[in-house]
Amino acid sequence: MRVKFLISLILIFFGHSVANAQDENVIYNDTLTQKLFQIKKDYSKRIFESTYYTIQIYFGDLKSADSILIDFQENYEGIKSELIFETPNYKVRIGEYKDINIASQKLEGIRRTYPGSFIIKLSEL
């Protein structure tokens, strides 16, 4: 009985010592945490600043895309428009809007002429 008591006492003592030793080995580096937080904050800001909405009015073959792009440029002067190739289709995208609400308002007017139009969220990163 005494042997069991001594073994239990020794195990409790060593268990407590190991637990305390683990606490002593932990290093809290606030400057590192602050640097990592600043990096995350800067990255999130860059993502926000480089994200915008555009309206895609067509995707398909080159001949039709080119025709729609010319038609759009003639009827909607002052709105940025571009022809993009993404395998296997050509796409006509118009405008760059930071606010989804403004893009939605523009989409309502554009859909009268180009009924298949929709908004896409893009990022320059």
pTM tops 0.85, yes or no: no
Q: Where is average pLDDT lowest: 5-9, 76-80, 108-112? A: 5-9
Kindly state whether residue 25 falls inside one of the protein's structural domains: no
Q: Could you tell me if residue 96 is inside a domain?
A: yes
* CATH code, 72: 3.30.70.1070
User: Quick check: is 41 in a domain?
Assistant: no
Q: What is the CA radius of gyration of the chain?
A: 31
pLDDT digit string, tens, across residues 43-68: 888 887 788 999 999 999 999 999 99
Into how many domains does the chain fold?
1
**pLDDT for position 123:** 79
Residue 74 is part of which domain span? 53-123
Mean pLDDT of 74-86: 93
Tell me how far apart the 2 most distant CA atoms of the chain are, in Å. 99
| 67, part of any domain | yes
Report if residue 76 sits inside a domain: yes
Q: Residue 124: pLDDT band by 50, 70, 90 thresholds?
A: low
Query: Quick check: is 43 in a domain?
Result: no
88 in Cβ contact with 36 (< 8 Å): no
How many residues are present in the chain? 125
8 part of a folded domain: no
Confidence of residue 21 (pLDDT cuts 50, 70, 90): very low
In a domain, 23, yes or no: no
Percent of residues, the chain, with pLDDT higher than 90:
53
Calculate mean pLDDT across residues 5-25.
59
